Amino acid sequence: MTDILELAFSSFVVIMPAFIANSAPVLARGRHPMDFGKSMGDGRRVLGDGKTFEGFLAGLSLGTLAGAFFGYPLHSFLLALGALSGDLIGAFVKRRVGIERGQPAPLLDQLDFVAGALLFLYPVYQVTIEQVIFIAAVTPPIHLATNYIAYRLGLKKYPW
């Protein structure tokens, strides 16, 4: 039992800056879309109105601060930047396959930011395979629960 608790704690400490970075943009209520309102050749927006400069900066700042609290400013910066970059890639993919902003894409919505975070972290710190499995397993329900809470608080238009 102790091993599982240690795995859970170490995994949450590692991924927490990414979770915070991914959650913070909704608080910024950004008005300046990162794609400048541009569309691709397919007629769909590059990213959509939900990906804003204000949200990106809020996520990067809060995610970095969260990890710095534990004494790892470089790790937390990389995790936050990776999480936000992964989320942007997820939004880009969703637009290309015709999924509109706010519509769910199961697992892509929950794991794009985790993949980006761990990829950006990799050059300076490698998580164990057990941590990756744990993080991948707990992220979807945590993501869905926090989105529902944000929806109930009026911060999000949709509960997913």
Q: Is residue 106 part of a domain?
A: yes
Q: Is residue 158 part of a domain?
A: no
Q: Is residue 17 part of a domain?
A: yes
pLDDT given at position 1: 79
Whether the CB-CB separation of 50 and 26 falls below 8 Å is answered with no
Q: What six digits make up the tokens of 135?
A: 């993080």
Determine the 3-state secondary structure of 158 from DSSP.
coil
Q: Is residue 21 part of a domain?
A: yes
What's the pLDDT tens digit per position in 79-129? Answer: 999 999 999 999 999 999 999 988 999 999 999 999 999 999 999 999 999
pLDDT exceeds 90 at position 134? yes
pTM of the complete model = 0.95
Q: Kindly indicate the confidence band of residue 24, based on its pLDDT and cuts at 50, 70 and 90.
A: very high
Q: Is residue 159 part of a domain?
A: no
Q: Is residue 145 part of a domain?
A: yes
Category of 87 on φ-ψ map: left (φ > 0), alpha (ψ -120 to 50) or beta: alpha
pLDDT given at position 70: 85
Domain that holds residue 47: 2-152
Q: What six digits make up the tokens of 117?
A: 């975070």
Distance, CA of 135 to CA of 77 (rounded, Å): 18
pLDDT given at position 102: 86
Whether the CB-CB separation of 9 and 132 falls below 8 Å is answered with no
pLDDT given at position 43: 95
| pLDDT, average across residues 126-155 | 96
How many domains does the structure of the chain reveal? 1
Q: Is residue 130 part of a domain?
A: yes
Q: Kindly indicate the confidence band of residue 160, based on its pLDDT and cuts at 50, 70 and 90.
A: confident
Question: Exposed, middle or buried by CB within 10 Å (0-12, 13-18, 19+), for 9?
Answer: exposed
Quickly count: other Cβ atoms within 10 Å of residue 11's Cβ: 22
Q: Is residue 61 part of a domain?
A: yes
Mean pLDDT of the chain, nearest integer: 96
| pLDDT, average across residues 19-31 | 95
pLDDT exceeds 90 at position 66? yes
